[in-house]
Structure 1
Amino acid sequence: MKNTLKYSLLACLSAGSLMMGSCMKDDPNPAKGTPVEEASLYVIRNLYKNTDISLTKSMTSGAGITAGVVVSNAASKNLPDGIIALENVWRGQTRGLYIQVADAHKYQFGDSLRIVFEGSRLTLQDGNLILTGLDESKINVAAQGIQKKHRAISIGNLKANYTQYEATLIKVTADVEPEPAIGTTFAGEKILMDGEQNKLILSTASSSPFAGGSIAPSASFQGLSFRKGEQLELRMQTAQDMVNPSGKLYRGWPETFEEPYQVKTSYNMTATNNLVDLTTGTWYLLQSIQGNTAGRDRIVSGTQAIRFQQNLSSPAYLQMNFDMAKGASKVSFWYGAYYTDRSSTFVLESSIDQGATWIQVGEPITDAPTTTQSSMAKEATFVMNITVPVRFRIKKLGLGTSTDKISNGRLGIDDFAIYQSY
């Protein structure tokens, strides 16, 4: 192989510099060292144009192999027989694909597979894009035990961009509707609903080992995105895929900072004492505004989000000036750096004495991603057991001007949610 590469390179050099463009090929994923004979799942999925198709190398510029990590767990018995889910990342784009095999138990969660796909077919089965007709002697397990994480996503985003998340590991935070009685099990179909009334079906086969487990009124539910006809579903794979169980989301939440529109447009509005009447109550926004710059502000829902000022030497606040009467079992919100700003450091604090004193909840957050690192904001979740009236605030620390050792950029926050005690 080395000699072949050497002779090819010499041939290009001898042909002169004008020929170099035809001799050299772009590596489709140089950061990962992906060879040119490999087509990503992103590329494979894009070959499907609303009709079944047989795959050939000519469709992928000579590439005949695709690869990815198995993210399905056959032991869960919560996917159709003979179906595995494969996920990979190419040029920062995560994509998944369902693969039909003779025995799904042969492939374990975390197995890295290389698949010769020529001669197989892409087909739509009950709404799911599936690669069928593979010669399984040409499926190679290249590595095992690869770690994969679930991506937090809103139900609304999942519905709007389903093909980006099909057959990938996702996590949604939602209530179970109607509220389940104590001891209600996972088995069957349960409606998951977020604060914006977006719905998703949590589907659990009765034969699944965890089907008899008890479901909480609200949680972050993680698993695989799946379709059953027009019905969009989430398929958990273990009982541990119900993360951070809690009481139900308070009615009227999350606070999306949408209404009234663009009332707080200055970081420090002394005339109003930085108080803003939002749909959930009165909030104190010190050195923070309602931002609406698409692609820069971290807007998860609607058309605006909260934006904190940068480079301050004193704290900035997004603070409730009212209490939640039934305590709290969980708080969640979405966050990210504004545009390409540096990250920052901020904390969640609670008060059970009407704001006289504040106590930090959990650990400081320092990993707000830029829009170039991720177009999606990150979700923060804090679990607690507060049974008395409580209020919360986000405090962005005043670390001063950003330097090579200090990061203190603008910060975006959206969809602040509070869950009743549980």
Structure 2
Amino acid sequence: MSLADVRALYRGEEVTLTREKMAGAHQVVGVVISDPSSGNFPSNQVIIQNTRRKLTRGIVLQFGTPSSTPLVVGDSVVVETEGAALKSINGALHITGLQPSAVTKVKSGITVNPRTVSLEALVNKPGDYEGTLVKIVAGNITPTPTRTSTYSGDKQMTDGNGNNIILHTQSTATFAQERLWPSATYTGVPLAGVNPQAQTPTLLLSLRSINDVEDQSGPLYPGFPETFDNPSLVKDSYNMNPLRGVVDNTIDFSTGSWKLFYSIVGQTPGRDRFTGTWGIRMQDGRPANQSPYVQMNFDLPNGASKVTYIYGAYYTDASSTWWIEYSQDKGKTWKKVGPTMTEAGNWTRTATVLMDISGPVRFRLFKQGLGANNPPAVFNGRFAFDNFAVYAGVE
């Protein structure tokens, strides 16, 4: 039986798993995604996930005693479930009452790629991700950790938009005393739990090792990410096109004043790429060879260690070519930082650009003018992005 179907059997009360209740099935299969050897997962628990009918779901296998047959990340297993119990422990679904002999390893070394997910999606649809391997880009720890802060304990992670979970690290974890950075990209396993401060339901994200931490940086600047949400705007009024008589495209968003050049504030669901109600849409090859950009008209005081944003092609448009630029002379001159990007499709992804800039700085997203879109020779479709975030320099 798929783990999605097993999870669906739970209706608020403990369920004894029988062939009758499982429509004749008596086994589940999955790939191990937890790592008890790291010390950050209970030794009597193993977390598995599988994908059936395009649904990826996971569950905790709980044994009465620590398993005598060690299982590691990437092991494919078959689990005999007849007579075991499906129950909720602190909100997380477990299959309990298992003996080590109920689990048979059939293969090792399977690669499980994490699903990249936003904190907003985790908070709003926890059941879609609980007990599976996920990657959270630019998770921000609040309050901001100091140089001596470590992973040990429960730390609140936020996206700056009011979505919060807990980064949970056992004191016994092999990386518990490693330095905790203000922001990083985390790969781990979320499980339902309780916020230790507020005593309210939340998700607890557990890492498998220090290798699950990437793109460490300084703290997110207050007020960011910029979501470009301003309901008073009329989206077509800010496309700076002299042919249409538009000469002033400076807009005040929540973080400050921004300039939009051959770019507009878009709000078409399924076409523009945004997480709130608005996002930025940049022009394609009309008029020819113009290079759209969206730039800050203000400086941030403490340098920068990272920029992140979500992006994709507008609707079904072709991809384009773009990059991030910065200025330290109040916008008189601009320098490229990070890679040239050329991949954008009918999806939303997160870009992360690492840097080491000291002193006051401002940024812009610059889309290269390539002329009229003409695949396969020229890819220059409309480009959309949102949630532009800047992280201060590292102390």
The answer for the alignment partner of 1:130 in structure 2 is: 94
The answer for the alignment partner of 2:274 in structure 1 is: 299
The answer for the alignment partner of 1:345 in structure 2 is: 321
Aligned to 2:116, which of 147, 152, 157?
Answer: 152
The answer for the alignment partner of 1:139 in structure 2 is: 103
Counterpart mapping for 1:222-237 below 5 A: 222-229=187-194, 230-237=201-208
The answer for the alignment partner of 1:250 in structure 2 is: 221
The answer for the alignment partner of 1:201 in structure 2 is: 166
Counterpart mapping for 1:7-406 below 5 A: 39-59=1-21, 61-101=23-63, 102-103=65-66, 106-134=70-98, 136-172=100-136, 173-229=138-194, 230-266=201-237, 268-270=239-241, 271-300=246-275, 302-312=276-286, 313-314=288-289, 315-371=291-347, 377-399=348-370, 400-404=372-376, 406=378
What's the offset of the Cα at 1:159?
A: 1.0
The answer for the alignment partner of 1:31 in structure 2 is: none
Summarize the Cα distance change of 1:307–1:117 in structure 2 as closer, same or farther, 3 Å threshold. Answer: farther
Summarize the Cα distance change of 1:91–1:360 in structure 2 as closer, same or farther, 3 Å threshold. Answer: farther
Q: Which moved more, 1:148-157 or 1:210-219?
A: 148-157
Deviations 1:357-405 (A, max 9, x none): 322222223333424xxxxx22111111100221111122334314245
Instruction: Write the distance in 1 (CA, Å) between the matches of 2:334 and 2:5.
Output: 51
Summarize the Cα distance change of 1:288–1:142 in structure 2 as closer, same or farther, 3 Å threshold. Answer: farther
Instruction: Write the distance in 2 (CA, Å) between the matches of 1:306 and 1:91.
Output: 34
Secondary structure of 2:236's counterpart equals: coil
Summarize the Cα distance change of 1:367–1:136 in structure 2 as closer, same or farther, 3 Å threshold. Answer: farther
The number of equivalent residue pairs is 378
Summarize the Cα distance change of 1:306–1:91 in structure 2 as closer, same or farther, 3 Å threshold. Answer: farther
Summarize the Cα distance change of 1:287–1:212 in structure 2 as closer, same or farther, 3 Å threshold. Answer: same
Secondary structure of 1:157's counterpart equals: helix
The answer for the alignment partner of 2:198 in structure 1 is: none
Summarize the Cα distance change of 1:309–1:44 in structure 2 as closer, same or farther, 3 Å threshold. Answer: farther
Summarize the Cα distance change of 1:233–1:147 in structure 2 as closer, same or farther, 3 Å threshold. Answer: same
Instruction: Write the distance in 1 (CA, Å) between the matches of 2:342 and 2:79.
Output: 39
- The 8 Å contact of residues 264 and 276 in structure 1, kept in 2 or not, is answered as no
Q: Which moved more, 1:410-419 or 1:353-362?
A: 353-362
- The 8 Å contact of residues 267 and 309 in structure 1, kept in 2 or not, is answered as no
Secondary structure of 1:84's counterpart equals: strand
Aligned to 1:414, which of 386, 391, 394?
Answer: 386
Instruction: Write the distance in 1 (CA, Å) between the matches of 2:234 and 2:81.
Output: 56
- The 8 Å contact of residues 284 and 320 in structure 1, kept in 2 or not, is answered as yes
Instruction: Write the distance in 1 (CA, Å) between the matches of 2:236 and 2:16.
Output: 55
The answer for the alignment partner of 1:28 in structure 2 is: none
Deviations 1:114-150 (A, max 9, x none): 3344443321111101122346545332322222233
- The 8 Å contact of residues 240 and 263 in structure 2, kept in 1 or not, is answered as no
Higher helix share: 1
- The 8 Å contact of residues 14 and 87 in structure 2, kept in 1 or not, is answered as yes
Instruction: Write the distance in 2 (CA, Å) between the matches of 1:405 and 1:41.
Output: 46
**Letter aligned with residue 182 of structure 2:** P
Q: Which moved more, 1:165-174 or 1:96-105?
A: 96-105
What's the offset of the Cα at 1:98?
A: 1.5
Secondary structure of 2:307's counterpart equals: strand
Give the root-mean-square deviation of aligned CA atoms. Answer: 2.5
- The 8 Å contact of residues 343 and 370 in structure 1, kept in 2 or not, is answered as no
Query: TM-score if structure 1 supplies the norm length?
Result: 0.81
**Letter aligned with residue 283 of structure 2:** Q
Summarize the Cα distance change of 1:143–1:341 in structure 2 as closer, same or farther, 3 Å threshold. Answer: farther
Instruction: Write the distance in 1 (CA, Å) between the matches of 2:379 and 2:151.
Output: 44
Secondary structure of 1:243's counterpart equals: strand
Instruction: Write the distance in 1 (CA, Å) between the matches of 2:325 and 2:166.
Output: 33
Summarize the Cα distance change of 1:262–1:43 in structure 2 as closer, same or farther, 3 Å threshold. Answer: farther
**Letter aligned with residue 293 of structure 2:** Y
**Letter aligned with residue 76 of structure 2:** S
Instruction: Write the distance in 2 (CA, Å) between the matches of 1:410 and 1:93.
Output: 31
Instruction: Write the distance in 2 (CA, Å) between the matches of 1:398 and 1:63.
Output: 58
Instruction: Write the distance in 2 (CA, Å) between the matches of 1:222 and 1:85.
Output: 15
- The 8 Å contact of residues 227 and 233 in structure 1, kept in 2 or not, is answered as yes
